[in-house]
Each structure stands twice: as structure tokens, then as C-alpha cells.
Structure 1
Amino acid sequence: MFGLFKRNPTKKLRKQYDSLLEQAMHAQRNGDIKTYSMLTADAEALWAKIETAEDR
């Protein structure tokens, strides 16, 4: 019953993850491969955090 009002802890992380992937896509389209790879690596690290938070 009280879980109804509980916030989803991964919602903010998922928004951040989506934002990183979108920035990476734009960097790739502009030909900036170095920035693309850095943003993708950051997104993968964030995804690992999301997965561990959801496993709890």
C-alpha cells in the first residue's frame, strides 16, 4: 500500500542514460568519434549502475 507513493530510483538514471546516448549520436553524426566513444563509455557505466539498482 505504501509502495504506491515510493519514487522509482532508476527513473532519473534512465533519463541521464538516454541523454548521454543522444549526445553520443549527435557527436557521431558530426564526425567527432573521440567524443562519441567517451560518451558511449559513460553511458555503459551508467547502465551498469542502473542494472545493479534494479536487481535489488
Structure 2
Amino acid sequence: MFTLFRRDPIKKQRKRYDALLEQAMYAQRNGDIKTYSNLTAEAEALWAEIETLSKAPR
């Protein structure tokens, strides 16, 4: 009944994923490839978590 007021964890994770990719893009543009690689790897791990959350029954 009160699922209307519950926050969606996937939406929060997706917003964080988008922010990580944006930070990685700016790091790459500035020539900081090491930071770009770290942020991209973190974003990929987060995407795997998002996929498992989206496949789980609610």
C-alpha cells in the first residue's frame, strides 16, 4: 500500500552511474587517463549491480 512513498534504489544508482561516467569523461578530456580508467571501472561495477537489482523481483 505504501510502495508509492518508497524510493526506487535503481533510480538512485543510475544517477550515481551517470555522474561517474561524466567525471570519467572530464578526466579523459584533461588527459588524466589513470583517473579515467578508475572511474570507468567503478561505473562498470555499478552497472552490473544495477542490472542485478533490475532483474530481482520487487
TM-score computed with the length of structure 1 as normaliser: 0.90
**Which runs of 5 or more structure 2 residues have no equivalent in the other structure?**
none
Task: Indicate yes or no: 2:44 matched with 1:52.
Answer: no
Count of residues paired in the alignment:
55
**Who is 2:21 aligned against?**
21
Structure 1 segments (4+ residues) deviating >2 Å = none
Following TM superposition, by how much is the alpha carbon of 1:9 offset from its aligned partner in structure 2, in angstroms?
A: 1.6
After superposition, the CA RMSD in angstroms is: 1.3
Following TM superposition, by how much is the alpha carbon of 1:17 offset from its aligned partner in structure 2, in angstroms?
A: 0.2
Identity of paired residues, percent? 67
TM-score computed with the length of structure 2 as normaliser: 0.87
- For 1:3 and 1:51, locate their aligned partners in 2 and report how far apart those are by CA, in whole Å: 25
* Cα gap change, 1:18 to 1:52, in 2 (>3 Å): same
Residue-by-residue CA offset, 1:8-51 (whole Å, 9 max, x unaligned) = 22011001000000000000000000000000000000000000
